[in-house]
Every structure is written in C-alpha cells, then in structure tokens.
Amino acid sequence: MKKYLKVDEWKIIEEGFSPELNRVSESIFSLGNGRMGHRANFEEGYSGESLQGSYLAGIYYPDKTKVGWWKNGYPEYAAKVLNAANWGTIRIQVDNELLDLNRCKVLEFKRELNMRDGYLERSFKAEFESGRQVSVQVKRFLSIVHDSVGAIRYSLTPLNFDGELSVLFDIDGDISNQDANYGEKFWKEVEKDSATDVAVLTMKTKRTNFFACTGIAFDVQKDGKTISFESAPMVREKYIGREIKIKAEEGKELVFCKYAVNYTSLNTPKDKLRLHVEKELGVVCSLGFNNLLKMQADAWHLKWRESDIEIEGDPEAQQAIRYNIFQLYQTYTGEDPALNIGPKGFTGEKYGGATHWDTEAYCIPFYLATAAPKVSRNLLIYRFKQLPQAIENAKKLGFFDGAALFPMVTMNGEECHNEWEITFEEIHRNGSISFAIYNYIRYTGDQDYLIEYGLEVLLAIARFWKQRVNWSIKKERYVILGVTGPNEYENNVDNNWYTNYIASWCLEYALEAMRYVKGRDEAKYYTLMNRIQFKEEEITSWKDIIDKMYYPKDDKQQVFLQQDGFLDKELILVKNLGPENLPLNQKWSWDRILRSCFIKQADVLQGLYFFQDRFDLDTLKRNFDFYEPMTVHESSLSPCVHSILAAKLGYEKLAYDFYLRTSRLDLDDYNNDTEDGLHITSMAGTWMTIVEGFAGMRMVDDELTFNPMLPEKWKSFSFNMVYRGKSILVKVNKEGVEIL
C-alpha cells in the first residue's frame, strides 16, 4: 500500500520524482479511448525501471499453450493483447547528451491526470551532467472524439544555455510483450515511408495477420511562432523516424507537437489503411493541438454529465470514484460490439487483455446506468456472436445438442485459458451471461432483445446445465460435481452453492424467456426452436432439475454451504490469522490455500447479491456474518460485493471501509500490483458500491427504488443516471434521498 499521490477532486497528482514508483505511476497515469491506450511512459524516453506499453483494442496473438502435462480439451493457445507500435515518443538530445530523467538531475517534477478534460500533463526541470538545465511541459491525450487519434504537445525551454538540439519523432514497431518467451516478437513490418514532417509505418501480426498502420506528423514552434525545418530519415527494421536539428536559445520556448493516427484491419480494409491514416493525419494537423484538446474536453464534460458521482465532505473518496469512472470510459466506450473489456484495459499485459466474466457481472451494471442502452447491448451482442464458438467449446468437453459453454477467457469466442481447474471447471461464468441478459432487460425494459438474441443464448446455456448435472442416488437430488466457484481458493469441489443456484436459475429464466417470446412472436419462436431442434421433453427435464436441485446448507447455523466439504475445514477467522500469512497467495502454497476456509472473493455472497430479491435480510445476515470474516479479498472483484451487502445490512463502517479499499485499490496500490496495470473491471464494482450500496438502488417490479445510507464522513453524495431514456440525478444527504 502506498500513499504518494495528492488528493484532488478532479485530478490525480504526483509531485516530485520517484523512480522507484515509476512503473506504478505509468499504470496510474495511463490514457485510453476505447480503441487504443498506452501507459504513461515518458515521451523523451527513460532508461530506468519502466514498462513500455501501447495497445490497440482487439489486436492479439495466439500464444501456444505450454503446460507440464497436456490434458485433453486444453485450448491450443492462450491469446494475449499485443504491445503495438510505440509512437508516444519525442526524443531530445543536446549535443551528445540525451534527455533522460534516469541520468539527469531532476530538479522539479509534477504529473497530473486531468480527468475532467481527459488529458495528461507533466512538467519538470532537469539538469544534464554538463550542467545545462531545461524546463519541460508536456500535455498529451488520446482523443475520444476521433478514436484513432493521439496528440502530444512537448514544450522545452533551455534555462541556462544555447546549443543545438536534436529532436527525433519516431514510430517504433520493434516491440515485444513483457511476458513473451525469449523476447519473441509478434509483429512483422509491412511497409514504411516518411517525408519532412510525416512518417507512416504499417505492421502485421504473426499468425493472426492483423494489420496496423500508424502515422505521425509533427510541427515545431519557437518563441510562439511555427517554424519550418529540415529533417533526416532514421530507418531500421520495423522502425521509422525523422530527426530534426534546431538551435535552442536560453529562455526561448520550443514547442513540438506530435500527432498520431492509428488504423487497424479490424475496421478498415488492409489496402486502405495507409490512405485512411494519411487522410486523417491531414485533418488532425489542420485542427492543431489546442482545438483537438478543446474538443476532447467538451466530449469528456458530456460524459461526466451522464456518469459523474459527486461526494461532499470526503475528497479522497471523491477523487477515487471519479478515477474509477474515468478509467472505465477510457477502456470501453460501447461503440464497437467486436470489443470488450480486459481486466487491465490498456494499462498492462496481465490477463492478456482478454474478456472474462467480469464484464457481465461487474461492468454491465455500470454501463447500464451511465450510458445509452446500446452500450450494454453491444456487450451482450458480443457474447451472442460468439455463441457458435461457445457451442464448439462445450462439444470439445463432451457436451452435445447445442449446449454452450462460454469461454473463461477469450479474444474471439474461443477459449484461451489453460488451467484445467479454471477453464474446464469454473463454469458458473455461463450463469453470469444469462444473468446479464436478465439484468439488461430488467433495467432497460428492452424485452425485444430476448426475441432477437437473448433466447437463443439462454437456451444453449440451459442445455449445458441440463447435461452438466447428474443425479445422486445418495442425495436423491441433482448435483454438480467438480467445479470451481467464484472463490478460486477452492478448486474442483462438489456442489458449489453458487453454481448450483445459478444453474437452476438459468433453467428457470430460460423457461420464462421461452414463454415470453412464444407469447410475443410465435413465428419467430418456432423458427428458432426448429433451428436448434428443441424437443419438448427438454422442458420437462429442466423443470425436474429446478425442482430437485441440491443446495448444500448447514441446518445448525442456517447458512448455505460454499460446497459439500466446507464444514470439514478448520474454520478460522481472518482476524485471527497473523499478518505474516497475508496475502495468502504470496505466503502459502496452493494446496494449503485450497484446504483452508479462506475465501478469495464473494462466492455464496455473490449469489445472495445477484438474487437479492429471493432472500430475506435474516438469511443475508447469517451468511454474511458467517463468510465475511473468512474472506481475504485477494481478488479485486470481492470488496465491492461485500460493501454493497454490508450497506444493505446497515454495517456502515464495514461498507465504507470496503468502498475505500475498492475505489482506491490502484491509487493507493493496495495489493502492490498496480505496476502491472490497473484493475479496470473491478472499477465498475466501485461504482456499484455507491449506487447499489450507499444509495441502495434496486429494480423492483420495473421500478427503480433507493434505500440510501450516508457514510458518516460524507455530507452528501449525488450521481447522474440514465434510466429508460431519462437522465436523472440522485442526491443523498442527511435528510434522505432526492430524485431530480
């Protein structure tokens, strides 16, 4: 845990240069616009600790699966988002001295992420070994108006010298991923070209054959006036740049603007990439940095109008929630149904940038309430389009007749994760996909979605569960054996309560959806039923499973059991565990974690959260009181659910503590892993803690209801929401709740 950033309601501020925190800051100050993103690497380059990262949405590589002992059913490959061409640099040299904060003396340093306007700013004073000093101010952003565009304004003033400056504007495509085997490279050069103030590089990925074209243009101002210049080409394999020499004079500001445009073959024909890039580069240059930045700020103001949360009386909490919202919108804008939300967004390489169930369980509620329905709808359609692969995936595991198992981790619908206890067994993910459809329709009222897309997905998932249960002669109930629940600190258990519950619910909801669609559009209903060769007896068997599903519980304590064997464990409370044991995943071996009672993230409680309307407060309380004290929250997805439930139970302090923990997870580097990238998907959970937790928002019988609680420290909080076409403002203060 670290506390090195200044608190400000609209900004993230780092003052003073801390090389040892540079990788953490590179994550925290990341920029993105839904289409691309990069870590906050220094424009002039940096030879110290740094993770250079520049990512294009949807561009991935299938890395061959490597395991000790191959198990039948493993996917051939694990996909990962590729670190792509780096255009975010303006390299500066004075005579033979490179501007590099790792070698210079850093006299002043400040970095600010301006969340209101959507840009990153950095200023510093540095002294070269020769004693020469420069003052630098940099602004940069990735445009959310033109999502192929990025821009940098680099201002440099010599403080105590005249001399010749060499400035290099380049695109470096010779990039590797951090976790690549033996520094393996995934990009090949296609073509490159440059002229005085412009350069273009087209690359393609190995095997997947994605093309990406990056173009840059740049201009120079001296003392407020645009000047012309000569430039020399710098060419290497997978690299192109232009170097200019310019006379620098003491006290006279030099400003370098660099514009970049990126197009990929995901949305543009391969042979038109360069054309598009060059055309848009022209537009961008003619607009210029200041106009582009103005448009950026206006666009962000609009976003904030729809999604801001305002907290009075607690600047730390205020800053945190805005940061979470800001990063979510940097990652996913909902424009493109081919895209999804990687757990780290564009801020790092961990989890391969692939889609997880986080999207359905955590992100959809956020986008439902803060954006037009089409955004969440696009996230649902993403899965709908991948239904054929999900059916194929289930087939590989022995399922049949159109049963679908959506992948645990995916880029294009194919499974790309290769631990058996997750890939093969963490099947509750299928439930969250049905639940997201239910949640979307409950919130938006868009029942038509069922007819066009939803029902087919629900049926394929229901078929999966039907085949996945088996009848236990011993229990005289249907059981689900060999699963991993949301709590990944238990693997391959029998009858995970959450999985059994959501499985049965999926069957129920599929039947309900069938009835609805049949009633609304019989023709379409029968067309679908014929196409998927649905048999009437499937209905009977589903009903039988719903009736006779087994749910492990403890009669004495009146709690649901996480799984059959839970009560054989030694039940120890986290508070009685010496701190030398935490975090468990770093201190304990895996088997010890697995046989312990400690819970990584909400499991039974995840179910009680999803299905709140089906359980009374007493039930919730008993289970919360039983499981919360054994939960270590070593998943970023855990504290938000506990916070919401704690708020519901009136455990105010607990709810508030969990809120701070989840909302400031990255800002305070709570788990010492922010350097790998931000916990993007759990940021949606943070938003939920306020709206569903403190404001107590629920959907009841097609209506929004609120049951608010105000954390002691807060004077008030308010937030904007979109609900069925209306923008509403919810204000909570000591007097109660106000809906405007």
Q: Out of 417, 466, 661, 731, point to the residue binding a copy of itself (CB under 8 A).
A: 417
**Nearer of residues 337 and 482 to a copy of itself, judged by Cβ:** 482
Least CB distance to a copy of itself at residue 91 (A):
34
Q: Compute the distance between CA of residue 485 and CA of residue 503 in angstroms, rounded to an integer.
A: 12
Least CB distance to a copy of itself at residue 400 (A):
12
Strands of 293-354 (E only): list them: 309-312
Q: Out of 190, 297, 582, 594, point to the residue binding a copy of itself (CB under 8 A).
A: 594
580 flagged as catalytic: no
Query: Is 193 annotated as ligand-binding?
Result: no
Tokens coding 485: 């629940």
Least CB distance to a copy of itself at residue 568 (A):
4
- Catalytic site residue from 360, 488, 538, 634: 488
* Spatial contact of 278 and 244, defined as CB atoms under 8 Å apart: no
Query: Is 11 annotated as ligand-binding?
Result: no
Q: Which of 59, 656, 654 is nearest to 346 (CA)?
A: 59
Least CB distance to a copy of itself at residue 554 (A):
8
Query: Is 465 annotated as ligand-binding?
Result: no
Q: Out of 233, 282, 313, 482, point to the residue binding a copy of itself (CB under 8 A).
A: 482
Q: Compute the distance between CA of residue 448 and CA of residue 380 in angstroms, rounded to an integer.
A: 13
Kindly state whether residue 207 participates in binding a copy of itself, applying the rule CB under 8 A. no
Tokens coding 119: 């840009």
Read off the DSSP letter of residue 7.
P
At 1, which amino acid appears? M
Binding mask 153-182 for a copy of itself (x = CB under 8 A): -----------------------------x
Number of residues that bind a copy of itself (CB under 8 A): 51
Least CB distance to a copy of itself at residue 65 (A):
8
Q: Out of 473, 530, 575, 740, point to the residue binding a copy of itself (CB under 8 A).
A: 473
Tokens coding 537: 């007896």
**Nearer of residues 254 and 597 to a copy of itself, judged by Cβ:** 597
Q: Which of 197, 192, 119 is nearest to 151 (CA)?
A: 119
Q: Which of 352, 349, 329 is nearest to 38 (CA)?
A: 349
Kindly state whether residue 418 participates in binding a copy of itself, applying the rule CB under 8 A. yes
Report in angstroms the alpha-carbon separations of 321 from 119, 302, 396, 687.
Answer: 18, 17, 42, 7
Kindly state whether residue 504 participates in binding a copy of itself, applying the rule CB under 8 A. no
At 21, which amino acid appears? L
Tokens coding 190: 């296609």
Give the strands of the sheet with 309-312, arranged side by side: 309-312, 716-723, 726-733, 736-739
Query: Is 174 annotated as ligand-binding?
Result: no
Least CB distance to a copy of itself at residue 63 (A):
10
Read off the DSSP letter of residue 359.
I
Q: Which long-range contacts (CB under 8 A, 24 or more apart) does 226-233 make?
A: 229/196, 229/197, 230/196, 231/169, 231/196, 231/197, 233/194
Binding mask 557-586 for a copy of itself (x = CB under 8 A): -------xx-xxxxx-------------xx
Binding mask 397-416 for a copy of itself (x = CB under 8 A): xx------------------
Tokens coding 7: 């608190």
Binding mask 68-107 for a copy of itself (x = CB under 8 A): xx-xxx----x-----------------------------
Least CB distance to a copy of itself at residue 556 (A):
9
Burial class (CB in 10 A: 0-12, 13-18, 19+), 367: buried
Q: Compute the distance between CA of residue 210 and CA of residue 72 in angstroms, rounded to an integer.
A: 29
Kindly state whether residue 67 participates in binding a copy of itself, applying the rule CB under 8 A. yes
Contacting range for a copy of itself; rule: CB under 8 A; set: 80-88, 195-203, 245-253, 493-501: 493-501
Q: Out of 479, 539, 620, 704, point to the residue binding a copy of itself (CB under 8 A).
A: 479
In the beta sheet, which residues pair with residue 111?
Answer: 14, 122
**Nearer of residues 439 and 500 to a copy of itself, judged by Cβ:** 500
Q: Which of 585, 675, 682, 593 is nearest to 641 (CA)?
A: 682
Q: Compute the distance between CA of residue 228 and CA of residue 84 in angstroms, rounded to an integer.
A: 31
Kindly state whether residue 419 participates in binding a copy of itself, applying the rule CB under 8 A. yes
Q: Which residue matches tokens 């919108």?
A: 329
Residues of span 279-308 touching a copy of itself by CB under 8 A: none
**Nearer of residues 313 and 583 to a copy of itself, judged by Cβ:** 583
Could you list the residues known to form a binding site, using ranges: 357-358, 600-601
What is the binding site for a copy of itself (CB under 8 A)? 65-69, 71-73, 78, 182, 396-398, 417-421, 424-425, 470-475, 479, 481-482, 491-495, 564-565, 567-571, 585-592, 594-595
Please list the active-site residues.
488
